[in-house]
Structure 1
């Protein structure tokens, strides 16, 4: 159809931020920095290339995802360790902080809890910013590579995508069936992945991650966390994100304990105070 006469005026309407965060409680980054400065590594979990691993982080401790071998992206799931129905909510995290997250941003949990699961303390890739294509690092817009989309698009039975990796790892950890574990696997934080939306069509794109060995993303656990991380079969995602031929590398998850059992003045966040009456 032809454009209306006021098309340009309509396009020129200024945008409004959907969720203004001026009233959102800000993390005390100085307190977290103090906790990190005195922290010591107490354990580590190796995530094999093209596979996933599960890890546990007590509230008040720190976990760090490290690139250790070659450029590699990872898909991260987080749950309340005591209640898997409370898990990372990528959509609301995106609505509050933006399409890509970094130092000082928080990973929020699902309704009805709606509280921070973890706070990002350090991001060695925060220098990247937004590139000329609109790409940035650590996105909460992609869902995870999965066998259902692969079958839809190519008719393939492909099993070593991130969704299946996370499902297998969680099933083994919990001692449950794949079917039961799969219900808990959810949209991810794409750690180290460089993504954006094309300017002409608005389609989701990926490009080679800028991550290199030594780069890391560090989090403070606000509650007792169960995590699962998949080392994506796309490697650095420079070509495709479900592949048996892409160069892939392991990732490392370090668990660090601050000197004090809990940082002075820090308390684990409580669940949302909404009364859940929903107008009744």
Structure 2
């Protein structure tokens, strides 16, 4: 399958938006500071401006759906369309910014040890299992897990948009436009780190769809890095 020839990070008009794509990746170890998301489940938490969120694949081959909502106004949330429009490509990595539906920067990717994530496909849902996994037991999927986790913040199920699918591997045929969902390229311990550019509510899952995760379901770990600690790491 021929893949599209896409600009690399730093090419085109988006170059002006980038931070430091050469920032050296930190060694992320499970030293008790990481929080655990059980397989096929989700959580929600606040992330303040300047803090960093590190999403870790502890065992390898596991997708995590990430959704960001403004803490000040839940009607402002992560937008795939705005982000990809401004980035001018579909594969995002270190130095790329994730925009809201109001074109405000919500997150910036500051580290990425994998380099392949998806921002095209919606969170899997009960309907996904009904339509795409007829032989699998029904499950509420990432959409249901995000809805349940974000409900205390006032986010309704119908408001949930396309999430940023950490580690999800969706190659696209450059000639036909057809895509495939393949197993993630992430290995045990791989991670992606985001810096918050505004106060946010984050919804995060360990994905429930069989195809997205190579047919198995594993946990996701995450860590919140305080603003002061993040500044020191960035300077280093």
Q: TM-score range by the shorter chain?
A: 0.7 to 0.9
CA distance in 1, matches of 2:14, 2:42: 37
Find out whether 1:61 has 2:41 as its counterpart: no
TM-score normalised per structure 1: 0.67
SS in structure 1 of the partner of residue 218 of structure 2: coil
Counterpart pick for 1:115 among 99, 104, 123: 104
Aligned residue in 2 for 1:148:
127
CA distance in 2, matches of 1:23, 1:158: 41
2:23–2:111 CA contact under 8 A, matched in 1 = no
Aligned residue in 1 for 2:219:
250
- Computing the radius of gyration from Cα coordinates, the structure with the larger value is 1
Aligned residue in 1 for 2:61:
71
Q: Which consecutive unaligned segments of at least 5 residues does structure 1 have?
A: 1-19, 127-136, 240-245, 264-280
Q: Which consecutive unaligned segments of at least 5 residues does structure 2 have?
A: 1-10
SS in structure 2 of the partner of residue 259 of structure 1: helix
- Cα drift, residue 48 of structure 1: 1.3
- Cα drift, residue 82 of structure 1: 1.6
**Count of residues in correspondence between the two structures:** 216
CA distance in 2, matches of 1:47, 1:193: 17
Trace 1:84-233 onto structure 2 (pairs within 5 A). Answer: 84-97=74-87, 98-111=89-102, 114-126=103-115, 137-152=116-131, 154=134, 158-171=138-151, 173-174=152-153, 181-198=156-173, 201-233=176-208
Higher strand share: 1
- Cα drift, residue 51 of structure 1: 0.8
CA distance in 2, matches of 1:93, 1:85: 17
TM-score normalised per structure 2: 0.78
SS in structure 1 of the partner of residue 156 of structure 2: helix
